[in-house]
Structure 1
Amino acid sequence: MSNCCTPDGSCHTSTEIKTTYKVQGIGSAHCQGVVAKAVGGLDEITAVDVEIGTGLVTVTTATEPDQALDTLIAKTVDEAGYDFAGRVTA
C-alpha cells in the first residue's frame, strides 16, 4: 500500500493487488500480446504481465479480485482463444 499526501496535508491511500492466473497455450510473443490486450482491456485491471512459455498472467487491481472478476477473466481468456486454468496459489 502506498501513501500519497498532497502539499496541503490531505492524504489518500492506494493499493495494488497482484493476482496470478495460469493460462495454457501462450507460446509466442503474438500469444502474449493477444492475452495481454484482452485481459488488460477489462475495466478492473490496472496492469497485466504475461509470461511466454509458463502461461502465468499477473494482473494488478485496486481491490482483491472476487469470483466475478475471476469468471470475467476466464471468459475473456477463452474468447481470445486460450485455456484459462485458474488462479495460481502460493
Structure 2
Amino acid sequence: MAQKQYNVTGMTCEHCAASVKEEVGEVAGVSEVVVDLAAHSVTVHGTDLDDARLRAAIVEAGYAVADSISDSVAA
C-alpha cells in the first residue's frame, strides 16, 4: 500500500479537515485520509496514488499544498 503525505496551508478547524478528507477521499485508489490540523499535514493511504490528482483535490477543497513531506510504499 502506498502512502503520501503533504504539508497543507490554511487548515484551521475540523470543518477544514472534513473538507479535505471528503475531496481527497474521492480520488481513485485512496483508501484512507488522515488530517493532522496541528501539523498542517494530510496523509493519504491507498494504491496507485496519483500525486497530481491528490494535490488537485486539496486545492479543490480550498487549501494550498506547500510541499510533499513523504512518499512511500509499504510492503
Return the TM-score normalized by structure 2. Answer: 0.82
What residue is the counterpart of 2:59 in the other structure? 78
Q: 5+ unaligned residues in a row in structure 2: which ranges?
A: none
Q: How far 1:82 moved relative to its partner?
A: 0.4
**What is the SS of the residue equivalent to 1:88?**
strand
Partner of 1:7: none
Aligned length: 71
1:25-52 Cα distance to aligned partner (Å, 9 max, x none): 1110000000011101111211110011
CA distance in structure 1 between the partners assigned to 2:28 and 2:57 by the alignment: 12
Letter in 2 for 1:72: R
Alignment of 1:3-82 (within 5 A): 16-63=1-48, 65=49, 69-82=50-63
Structure with higher RCO (Cα < 8 A, 6+ apart): 2
TM-score of the pair, normalised by structure 1: 0.70
Aligned to 1:87: 68
Larger relative strand fraction: 2
Percent sequence identity over matched residues?
Answer: 27
What's the Cα RMSD here? 1.6
**Using the alignment, how far apart are the partners of 1:76 and 1:32 within structure 2?**
13
Q: Which has the larger radius of gyration?
A: 1
C-alpha distance in 2 between matches for 1:52 and 1:75: 19
